[in-house]
């Protein structure tokens, strides 16, 4: 996906290979099936008009004076339906092309399934949810799943396109693996997460191909509106002969069909499915698997965006940079206690503490028979019990409470001073305690990602509020929030805090999006209107979210919001253009129908077209040709810059509203002149 923080999201280039073109043409012909055509009421009416025109041809015979005119109308109407079918088919063909790339990673694989008496080698297609498979170095992972034992370096290039290996480990928030990817080192035990044909990746393949695509709520609402407009115009056109008879006028059936087709919103009716499918394709281009088209569309309506600080706003590789002992505590005491409390800490922060302690000369050996206390979002601390020694490190308030429970009576003024100093410098302070004794502070430094502030400013211009979620204390959090340019933050956040804030926003009528990767994020991901789960995350997180990022990049949520915005703007702009077109076509057809018999209506003939028949043909030709002309725009999406709703509306009305009115006048007049040159007035 191409984005620019300062200039907004660009349109995606459209590339269609010859194979996709042939597939689209075949599919367009197959969609002439009335059962298939009925899914689009607008185009079904055009198809019905084509059938009636053909019937008229057979009824009047070749000698009839209007035979060739009727033939031309029938051909143009058929072309209109085919162009509309082609728009949807080419979008589906591009989706199938993307799906083929995904399927290349889903070739027939073999699996070593764990059974009671050992292992059995079977086809990956025979695996079922909750089966256990063992995968060793240089073997392909046979199915999507979660590592429950082991740690491995994995090459995910076949699916994500990223050649750099990634580390996946059991019992962490990065335990998810993708079928078709390759284990480079070590051996892992994987629990399969879905039955064949029901993986997230396979569901996405079906969606982008259009096979199981359901209309999104906005698309469905627009379809209902277009259907209502079509029905209204149908009633009017059917009533016209009866009305005309009262004033002595006669209206030809073919002319009535042409009038109906030109008045109903055929342009947007033909392009609407293509716009929806293209939105799904753009999400997939960004390596994001949406479980439904609704999720992509809904992203465009998001009011509040909640993001974790670490890995999203900051680089996420916080490193221990300094040990700050309290009075009466030596640096060696703090250093060694911090090292012991971090030996079983699998996080980059924990490993950096061990590395810094060793670098500064710690010779403390691994303890015998330790009992490690793992970090949890609820306690916000970790540590180790070694005999009578109880060492903990974690967030300042959590460690203070724990130390008090152990009987601590330490004056907290010095500790708070160190914590505040570290926090005000934009680093994260961790407090270390041994029993009732507070030992000091560890400084963890992180850096805000370049360009994040500009992207948040762009989202703010689109009316999206950004909220940073962090476990940092209330002193550090404001410093990071100010640097990143977010609108609000939640400090010392627990899973309950995330869930409560999402619900609070939703009570206010806001649509909320958030990103997460751990099991503790699952409730919030499920509660949010848009939940983006990391593919490397736990199975619980992926099941709770309605989108999965194959790259496991938390910043991807920003791109998803922009894709959703682009989808909505594209649909809105082309709808405006289509409805505006009808105004000009009205002034081409109405004089052709009535002016000759009712001279009083000649004032409507503002276009001064050469003849009634040429006027009808010119309007129909424009009506047919504008659909394929707009197909590239529907597929790539409209470029836009982050701006307010009023600015977007103003641009929409000026460019696509006014342009939609003026362009048909020019084009219909030009086509009329060409018809005069070819067939005469």
- Going by C-alpha positions, the residue among 190, 164, 187, 186 that lies closest to residue 177 is 190
pLDDT band at 7 (very low <50, low <70, confident <90, very high): very low
Which residues does residue 232 pair with via DSSP β-bridges, in sequence order?
A: none
Token output for 51: 């059938």
* pLDDT tens figures, 92-127: 787 677 666 666 655 567 889 998 888 899 888 888
Token output for 145: 């799943």
**Cα atoms in the Cβ-side hemisphere of radius 13 Å centred on 482:** 10
What is the Cα–Cα distance from 332 to 179, expressed in whole angstroms? Answer: 47
- The DSSP element (H or E) to which 657 belongs, if any, is none
Percent of the chain residues past pLDDT 70, beyond the cut: 90
pLDDT band at 3 (very low <50, low <70, confident <90, very high): very low
Helix 612-636 to helix 266-285 angle (10° resolution) is 10
* pLDDT tens figures, 505-562: 999 999 999 888 777 788 888 899 998 888 777 777 888 888 888 877 777 878 888 8
Residue 528 to residues 391, 488, 516, 675, Cα–Cα distance (Å)? 37, 17, 11, 57
Let me know if 397 is a catalytic residue: no
Inform me whether the pLDDT recorded for 501 exceeds 60: yes
Question: Which of 224-238, 274-288, 587-601 bottoms out in mean pLDDT, i.e. has the lowest?
Answer: 587-601
* pLDDT tens figures, 266-292: 999 888 888 887 887 888 778 888 877
Contacts of 428 (CB under 8 A, 6+ apart): 318, 422, 443, 444, 445, 446, 472, 476
What is the Cα–Cα distance from 533 to 158, expressed in whole angstroms? Answer: 20
What is the Cα–Cα distance from 291 to 560, expressed in whole angstroms? Answer: 13
Q: Which residue has the tokens 């993708």?
A: 178
Question: What is the pairing mode between strands 319-325 and 437-445?
Answer: antiparallel
- Asked if 543 and 523 touch (Cβ cutoff 8 Å), the reply is no
Percent of the chain residues past pLDDT 90, beyond the cut: 23
Q: What is the pLDDT of residue 147?
A: 92
What is the Cα–Cα distance from 165 to 175, expressed in whole angstroms? Answer: 14
Inform me whether the pLDDT recorded for 132 exceeds 90: yes
Q: What is the pLDDT of residue 211?
A: 47
Token output for 194: 């879905």
Catalytic residue among 131, 308, 521, 529: 308
Inform me whether the pLDDT recorded for 625 exceeds 80: yes
Helix 556-590 to helix 266-285 angle (10° resolution) is 170
- Going by C-alpha positions, the residue among 327, 502, 298 that lies closest to residue 415 is 327
- Asked if 482 and 424 touch (Cβ cutoff 8 Å), the reply is no
What is the Cα–Cα distance from 3 to 458, expressed in whole angstroms? Answer: 11
Q: What is the pLDDT of residue 167?
A: 85
Question: Which whole number is the average pLDDT over 387-409?
Answer: 90
Question: What is the pairing mode between strands 188-192 and 132-135?
Answer: antiparallel
Q: What is the pLDDT of residue 374?
A: 85
Inform me whether the pLDDT recorded for 169 exceeds 90: no
Mean pLDDT of the residues in the chain: 83
Q: What is the pLDDT of residue 181?
A: 83
Provide Rg for the chain, Cα atoms: 32
The whole model's pTM is what?
A: 0.70
């Amino acid at each position: 996906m191409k984005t620019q923080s300062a200039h907004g999201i660009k349109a995606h280039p459209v590339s269609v290979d010859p194979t996709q073109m042939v597939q689209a043409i075949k599919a367009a012909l197959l969609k002439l099936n009335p059962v298939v055509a009925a899914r689009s009421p607008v185009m079904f009416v055009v198809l019905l008009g084509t059938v009636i025109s053909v019937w008229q041809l057979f009824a009047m015979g070749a000698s009839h004076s209007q035979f060739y005119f009727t033939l031309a109308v029938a051909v143009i109407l058929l072309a209109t339906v085919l162009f509309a079918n082609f728009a949807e088919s080419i979008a589906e063909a591009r989706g199938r092309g993307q799906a083929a790339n995904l399927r290349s990673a889903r070739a027939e694989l073999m699996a070593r399934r764990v059974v009671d008496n050992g292992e059995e080698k079977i086809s990956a297609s025979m695996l079922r949810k909750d089966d256990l498979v063992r995968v060793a170095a240089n073997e392909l992972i046979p199915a999507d799943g979660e590592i429950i034992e082991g740690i491995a370096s994995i090459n995910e290039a076949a699916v994500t396109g990223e050649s750099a290996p990634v580390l996946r480990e059991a019992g962490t928030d990065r335990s998810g693996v993708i079928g078709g990817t390759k284990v480079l080192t070590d051996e892992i035990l994987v629990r399969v997460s879905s039955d064949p044909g029901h993986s997230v990746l396979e569901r996405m393949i079906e969606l982008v191909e259009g096979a199981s695509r359901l209309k999104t709520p906005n698309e469905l609402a627009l379809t209902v509106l277009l259907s209502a407009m079509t029905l209204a115009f149908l009633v009017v056109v059917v009533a016209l002969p009866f009305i005309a008879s009262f004033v002595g006028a006669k209206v030809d059936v073919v002319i009535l069909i042409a009038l109906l087709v030109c008045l109903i919103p055929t342009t947007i009716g033909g392009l609407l499915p293509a716009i929806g499918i293209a939105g799904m394709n753009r999400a997939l281009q960004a390596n994001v698997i949406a479980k439904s088209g609704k999720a992509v569309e809904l992203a465009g309506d998001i009011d509040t965006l909640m993001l974790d600080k670490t890995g999203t706003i900051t680089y996420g590789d916080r490193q221990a940079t300094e040990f700050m002992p309290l009075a009466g505590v030596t640096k060696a005491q703090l250093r060694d206690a911090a090292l012991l409390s971090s030996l079983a800490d699998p996080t980059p922060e924990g490993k950096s503490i061990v590395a810094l302690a060793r670098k500064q000369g710690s010779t403390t050996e691994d303890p015998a028979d330790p009992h490690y206390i793992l970090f949890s979002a609820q306690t916000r601390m970790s540590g180790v019990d070694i005999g009578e020694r109880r060492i903990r490190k974690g967030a300042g308030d959590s460690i203070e409470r724990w130390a008090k429970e152990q009987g601590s009576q330490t004056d907290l003024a010095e500790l708070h001073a160190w914590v505040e100093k570290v926090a005000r410098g934009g680093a994260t302070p961790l407090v270390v305690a041994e029993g009732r004794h507070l030992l000091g502070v560890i400084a963890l430094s992180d850096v805000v990602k370049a360009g994040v502030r500009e992207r948040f400013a762009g989202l703010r211009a689109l009316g999206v509020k950004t909220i940073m979620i962090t476990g940092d204390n209330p002193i550090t959090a404001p410093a990071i929030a100010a640097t990143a340019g977010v609108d609000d933050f939640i400090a010392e956040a627990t899973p309950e805090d995330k869930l409560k804030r999402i619900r609070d926003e939703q009570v206010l009528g806001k649509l909320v999006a958030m990103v997460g990767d751990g099991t503790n994020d699952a409730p919030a991901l499920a509660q949010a209107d848009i939940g983006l789960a990391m593919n490397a995350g736990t199975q619980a997180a992926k099941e709770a979210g309605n989108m999965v990022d194959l790259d496991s990049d938390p910043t991807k949520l920003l791109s998803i919001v922009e894709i959703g915005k682009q989808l909505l703007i594209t649909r809105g702009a082309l709808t405006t253009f289509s409805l505006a077109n009808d105004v000009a076509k009205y002034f081409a057809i109405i004089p052709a129908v009535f002016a000759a018999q009712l001279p009083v209506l000649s004032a409507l003939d503002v276009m001064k077209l050469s003849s009634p028949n040429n006027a009808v043909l010119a309007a129909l030709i424009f009506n047919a040709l504008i659909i394929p002309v707009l197909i590239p725009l529907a597929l790539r999406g409209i470029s836009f810059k982050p701006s307010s709703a009023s600015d977007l509306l103003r641009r929409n009305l000026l460019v696509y509203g006014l342009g939609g009115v003026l362009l048909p006048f020019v084009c219909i007049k030009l086509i009329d002149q060409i018809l005069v040159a070819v067939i005469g007035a």
